[in-house]
Amino acid sequence: MTISLHPSTLPAVLSPVLTPFKADGSPDAQKLLKQCQWLEANGVGQAIFGTNSEANSMSDPQKMNTLIALIEGGLNPAHMMPGTGATSIDATVHMTKHAVQHKCAGVLMLPPFYYKDITDDGLFAYFSEVIQKVGDTGLQIYIYNIPPVTKINLSLSLLERLHKEYPKTVVGMKDSSGDWAYTESVIKLLAPSGFRVYAGSEVFLMRALRAGGVGCISATANVNPRAIAELAAHWRESDADQRQDVLDQVRSVFAHYQMIAGMKTAVAHYSKDAEWLRVRPPLMQLNADQQAKLLSELQKMNFSMPGL
């Protein structure tokens, strides 16, 4: 039986929320607030400034000012897990302190992803220095494992060492490795001591929950939030595998396109707001043919985004 030593206010499903951009390339905080409120109404928390948020295309002040605007707009920080990881310790500390001061329930922290062939000792030293410099007992770190992007593999021994050394601070992870055997091994090793493992895609949601994980932080929670949240809430019921199959079908449509541009195409279409199509270079919008094909595939599935 999993014993949770770190009660969390975060929901089982979070979305790395897509960021709407203004014509000058700056984040549109008011449009983002509306999107976050829609996700919240559909049972999904907000992992703002994640990969699908184009977080690394924004400056630290842009992200921190946007966080303030979201909270001042009424968004509940108890359901928020902003991404604060950066290659610089000082930048990570600065953004992490800001999130903690604004009562966010957790932060999603990338490893320092620029240097390659780094050791577990080096990674431990990085996270340890961040924790000590933030110096706040309210800090709850969820380590973000995404080796297809970072080219860094987080070993079980490193995770175990961090959690053992900082049991009240290093409290979980998002695993976007896409390697179920690895995800399962982390859950088996660390979930009994309260470590909260989120799968990085709803494709693994049922497997993660059955193994003792807590849910998923998934790109397509941006566009299909209610169905994913409802599976997380009802995963013990007899139709759970059928629900999982339907989620997988929706995911597979978006997986054939650059994911961020594809999801922004859907949001722009269903919200009737073409400004949502904007992405930051080096990403590019889907071309007109790709947009039409994606939307046609969704319509064949009777897909919708009610209330957007």
What is the per-residue pLDDT across 19-69, written as a single tens digit (0 to 9) for each? 999 999 999 999 999 999 999 999 999 999 999 999 999 999 999 999 999
157 pLDDT higher than 50: yes
pLDDT for 7 equals 79
Looking at the chain, the number of H-run helices and the number of E-run strands are 12, 7
What's the whole-number mean pLDDT along residues 144-148?
97
Amino acid at position 277, single letter: L
What mean pLDDT is reported for the chain? Answer: 96
4 pLDDT higher than 80: no
| Beta partners for residue 107, in sequence order | 141
Domain boundaries 13-235, corresponding CATH code: 3.20.20.70
Nearest Cα to 11, choosing from 75, 70, 79?
79
- Give the 3-state secondary structure percentages of the chain, helix then strand then coil, rounded to 5: 50, 10, 40
Rounded CA-CA distance 83/143 in Å is: 10
What is the per-residue pLDDT across 172-228, written as a single tens digit (0 to 9) for each? 999 999 999 999 999 999 999 999 999 999 999 999 999 999 999 999 999 999 999
What is the per-residue pLDDT across 88-131, written as a single tens digit (0 to 9) for each? 999 999 999 999 999 999 999 999 999 999 999 999 999 999 99
What is the per-residue pLDDT across 225-280, written as a single tens digit (0 to 9) for each? 999 999 999 999 999 999 999 999 999 999 999 999 999 999 999 999 999 999 99
Tokens of 293: 């094909």
pLDDT for 1 equals 37
Q: What is the DSSP letter of 303?
A: -
Q: How far apart are the first and last CA of the chain?
A: 39
The reported pTM is 0.96
Q: What is the DSSP letter of 200?
A: S
Residue spans of alpha helices (H) in 135-196: 147-150, 156-165, 180-190
Residues with catalytic roles: 144, 174
118 is in an annotated binding site: no
- Determine contact, residues 258/250, Cβ cutoff 8 Å: no
